[in-house]
Amino acid sequence: MSTLILATAYVGPMKIFGWIAILMGMFMNLLYNGLTAIGIENIGITIIVMTVIIYTAMLPLTYKQQKFSRLTQKMNPELKALQQKYKDRRDPEAQQEMMEAQRELYAKYGVSPTGSCLQAFLSILILFPLYRVIYNIPAYVHKVRDVLQPAVDGIMGTSGYKSTFDSVVSTFSINLRNIGVKSTAISDLSNTVIPKRIVDILYKLSPDNWSALSNAFPNVDFASVQTNFNRINNFCLLNVTNSPQYLIVHGFKAGQYLIVFLAILIPALAGLTQYWNYKLAPQQSTGADDAMAQQMKTMNIMMPLMSVFFAITLPVGLGIYWIAGAVIRSIYMIILNRHFDNMDIDAIIEQNQKKIAKKKEKQGYNQARIQAAGRVNTRTIRSSSMSSRERDEKLEEAESIKKGAVKGSMAQRAAMVKEFNERNTRKEEEERQSSSRSQRHGRGRSRGRQGQESTSQGAQDEKSGNTPEEKGQAAGQQETANPADTAETQGEAKPSETAGNPAGENSQQDE
- Compute CA distances 240 → 22, 248, 457, whole Å: 19, 14, 127
* Residues making up the chain, counted from first to last: 511
Reported as a single tens digit per residue, the pLDDT across 418-428 is 777 777 787 88
CB-count exposure of residue 186 (10 Å: 0-12, 13-18, 19+):
buried
pLDDT computed for residue 53 by the predictor: 93
Reported as a single tens digit per residue, the pLDDT across 66-91 is 888 778 878 888 888 888 888 877 77
The total number of structural domains in the chain stands at 1
Q: Is the pLDDT of residue 10 over 90?
A: no
Please indicate, yes or no, if residue 479 is contained in any of the structural domains: no
pLDDT level of residue 328 (50, 70, 90 thresholds): very high
Tell me how far apart the alpha carbons of residues 498 and 407 are, in angstroms, rounded to a whole number: 71
pLDDT computed for residue 217 by the predictor: 94
Nearest Cα to 12, choosing from 119, 136, 120? Answer: 136
Nearest Cα to 419, choosing from 389, 398, 404? Answer: 398
pLDDT level of residue 96 (50, 70, 90 thresholds): confident
Residue type, 134: I
Q: Indicate the DSSP class of residue 220.
A: S
Please indicate, yes or no, if residue 359 is contained in any of the structural domains: no
Please indicate, yes or no, if residue 428 is contained in any of the structural domains: yes
- What mean pLDDT is predicted for residues 365-386? 55
Range with lowest mean pLDDT among 132-141, 184-193, 288-297, 378-387: 378-387
Tell me how far apart the alpha carbons of residues 391 and 384 are, in angstroms, rounded to a whole number: 11
Q: Which residue range forms the structural domain that includes residue 425? A: 365-441
Reported as a single tens digit per residue, the pLDDT across 157-178 is 999 999 999 999 988 877 777 6
Q: Is the pLDDT of residue 261 over 90?
A: yes
Tell me how far apart the alpha carbons of residues 353 and 141 are, in angstroms, rounded to a whole number: 51
Reported as a single tens digit per residue, the pLDDT across 343-360 is 777 777 778 777 777 776
Report pTM: 0.65
pLDDT higher at 54 or 420: 54
Please indicate, yes or no, if residue 313 is contained in any of the structural domains: no
pLDDT computed for residue 184 by the predictor: 79
Nearest Cα to 224, choosing from 214, 216, 234, 215? Answer: 214
pLDDT computed for residue 482 by the predictor: 46
pLDDT level of residue 207 (50, 70, 90 thresholds): confident
pLDDT level of residue 492 (50, 70, 90 thresholds): very low
Bridge partners of 109, per DSSP, are: none
Tell me how far apart the alpha carbons of residues 412 and 405 are, in angstroms, rounded to a whole number: 5
pLDDT level of residue 331 (50, 70, 90 thresholds): very high
Please indicate, yes or no, if residue 407 is contained in any of the structural domains: yes
For the chain, give the percent of residues with pLDDT over 90. 24
Top mean pLDDT of 115-129, 299-313, 447-461 is at 299-313
Q: What is the DSSP string of 143-191?
A: HHHHHHHHHHHHHHTSTTHHHHHHHHHTTS----GGGT------TTS-T
Is-contact 246 313, C-beta < 8 A?
Answer: no
Please indicate, yes or no, if residue 300 is contained in any of the structural domains: no
Please indicate, yes or no, if residue 377 is contained in any of the structural domains: yes
Please indicate, yes or no, if residue 386 is contained in any of the structural domains: yes
